[in-house]
Amino acid sequence: MDVLTVDGARKRFGDVIALDGATLALREGELLALLGPNGAGKTTLIRAIAGRVHLDGGQVRVFGTPVSGRRTPAELGIVPQELAVYPLLTARENLGAFGTLQGLSRRDLAGQVAWALEVTALADRADEPVKGFSGGMKRRLNIACGILHRPRIVLLDEPTVGVDPQSRDRIYDMLGGLTKAGVSLLVTTHHLEEAEARCTRTVIIDHGRVIAAGTLPELVDRTVGRHRVVTLRTDLPVASIPPGAEILSDDPRVLRARLSDVARELPPLLAALGSQGREVEDVEVRGPSLQSVFIHLTGRELRE
């Protein structure tokens, strides 16, 4: 079931077109990655879903209800890219404050704060001022403040930016726990490996338009295909390039070939090089990845 749909969203800021008919759907209980180069329109799309950007055209629906006005729908939880917590307050005080603003009753608040501290593994630091926390702890608290009221949909804008790999894993474990509980998550990220490994589906946006959406195999099939890229390095420049291979860059010792069946096609390639008296120093076999899909679609690398 689609819990959130964006249909033909358009938004222009002066001469800049931020959204140009973006369309996507978020399914119940999935972790959907929203990828795109800088300036592609990701943040504008997130803000439009949250009701903070008035669209020039198109519509956003949350559980079938159009998002309008200045209020964020109660079913949504927002986790901004910035560390939107009060550094001089403790973790418990921050959670208490945002929980109250979200409308939690006093009775529910204590339970929800305890739950959030447990989920974020911050219970042992709950009464310390946030300013002394590590980047990863602040990020986890930032997420906790957005999910405290148990929203059914959570929008997370770059939730792992600037944190170490261990903290990223911890954050994604936390998000995985939410999806298991039926919460639907829309995450923008620059970490393709994370999106590839952790997210159910991926939406790629560029120039304000959604240019691809689906699971990784679906995207691979639609773009780069399932062949492997094999890169070979020889000790000396090759005398003649074997069929199906090409010289990569300016170095005549590096060859690249696209192989649909590595086990069958790689041995003849190695044999052809050996017959020229060349010794193969290195072999790299790369399968289709989200990065290759992304580069194929946008023509650009995705950098943090």
Partner 1 sequence: MIATLVKIAWTNLRRDRVAQALTFLLPIIFFSIFASVFGNQSEGSTARIRIAVVDEDRSELSRRIAEGLAKESALRVRAKSDAAGSSMLLDRAGAERLVRDGDVPVAIVLPRGIGDAIMTSGGSIGAAGPRIQLLADVSDRVAPQMVFGLLQKVAMTSAPDLIMQGGLRQFEQYAGEMTPRQQSAVKAWLQRLTPRGSDANKAQDAASGVLGIGIDTVDVMRQGKTESLISFYAAGVGVMFLLFSVSGASGTLLDEVDSGTLDRMLSTRLGMTGLLAGKWIFLALMGTAQLTVMFLWGRIAFGLDLFHHLPGFFVMTIVTAAAAAGFGLVLATLARTRAQLSGMSTIIILIMSSLGGSMFPRFLMSETMQKFGLVTFNAWALDGYLKVFWRDAPLWQLWPQVLVLLTLTLVFLALARTFARRWEVA
- Please give the C-alpha separations between residue 261 and each of 196, 223, 231, 281, in angstroms, as whole numbers: 23, 18, 15, 22
CB of 195 to partner 1, least distance (A): 22
Interface with partner 1 includes 85 (CB under 8 A)?
Answer: yes
Nearer to partner 1, 44 or 167 (CB): 44
Nearer to partner 1, 94 or 292 (CB): 94
CB of 76 to partner 1, least distance (A): 7
CB of 54 to partner 1, least distance (A): 5
Residues 22-51 within binding reach of partner 1 (CB under 8 A):
44, 47, 50-51
Interface with partner 1 includes 82 (CB under 8 A)?
Answer: yes
Query: Exposed e or buried b for every residue in 1-10, given b needs 16+ CB within 10 A?
Result: eebbbbeebb
Report how far residue 22's alpha carbon sits from residue 213's, in angstroms, rounded to the nearest whole number. 11
Report how far residue 292's alpha carbon sits from residue 204's, in angstroms, rounded to the nearest whole number. 13
Residue 299's CB is within 10 A of a number of other CB atoms, namely 9
For residue 6, give the amino acid letter: V
* Burial class (CB within 10 angstroms; exposed 0-12, middle 13-18, buried 19+) of 266: middle
Interface with partner 1 includes 12 (CB under 8 A)?
Answer: no
Interface with partner 1 includes 282 (CB under 8 A)?
Answer: no
Report how far residue 290's alpha carbon sits from residue 147's, in angstroms, rounded to the nearest whole number. 28
Interface with partner 1 includes 83 (CB under 8 A)?
Answer: yes
Report yes or no: 177 and 119 within 8 Å, Cβ to Cβ. yes
Residues 111-170 within binding reach of partner 1 (CB under 8 A):
145-146
CB of 207 to partner 1, least distance (A): 19
Interface with partner 1 includes 70 (CB under 8 A)?
Answer: yes
The strand pairing partners of 20, in sequence order, are: 10
Interface with partner 1 includes 188 (CB under 8 A)?
Answer: no
CB of 282 to partner 1, least distance (A): 46
Phi, psi torsion values for 227, nearest 5 degrees: -70, 160
CB of 11 to partner 1, least distance (A): 8
Nearer to partner 1, 54 or 286 (CB): 54
Nearer to partner 1, 47 or 198 (CB): 47
Instruction: State in Å, rounded, how far the first CA of the chain is from the last one.
Output: 32
Nearer to partner 1, 77 or 136 (CB): 77
Interface with partner 1 includes 236 (CB under 8 A)?
Answer: no
Report how far residue 226's alpha carbon sits from residue 111's, in angstroms, rounded to the nearest whole number. 49
CA dihedral 82, 201, 291, 17 (to 10 degrees): -60
Among 5, 25, 28, 52, binds partner 1 (CB under 8 A): 52
Residues that bind partner 1 (CB under 8 A): 13, 44, 47, 50-54, 70-72, 74, 76, 78, 80-86, 98, 101-103, 145-146
